[in-house]
Amino acid sequence: MNSEKPIFIQIMEMLEDDILSGAYTTDEIIISTNQISKLLSVNPTTSVKAVSILADKGILYKKRGIGMCVAEGAKEKILDQRKNAFINEAIPALLEEAKKLAISESDLIKIIRGGKND
């Protein structure tokens, strides 16, 4: 956990990362909110909020009497959401910072391709 983002967002991202990595697959039960709270030493309300938001987004669903499970298509939804955020937020911020630092387009392309910027 870090102080850059709210804890519930970090928990959401952790669960999403687990889905993306294959640690959780479609219809598989995820770690309980109580277990999350104990594991991360956070207030149970915080972990409930994270899981609830993921359920609202269609990433998770509740199996009555069992727990929260990974919804069908969850991985694709997460990938689409993160790609859109990267394209619409991270890249414009990167380009703006590069402009401020007078990094040319060709230097940026070289850096992205893994070459050194001399």
Query: Has domain 7-73 been given CATH number 3.20.20.140?
Result: no
Cβ atoms of residues 20 and 79 within 8 Å: yes
The partner residues of 69 in beta bridges, in order of sequence, read 29, 61
Model confidence over 10-49: pLDDT tens digits? 999 999 999 999 999 999 999 999 999 999 999 999 999 9
What token pair was written down for 21? 């990595």
In order, the DSSP letters of 35-61 are HHHHHHT--HHHHHHHHHHHHHTTSEE
What token pair was written down for 85? 């955020």
Model confidence over 45-66: pLDDT tens digits? 999 999 999 999 999 999 999 9
| pLDDT beyond 60 at 118 | no
Structural domain boundaries in the chain:
7-73, 75-112
Quick one: pLDDT at residue 114? 86
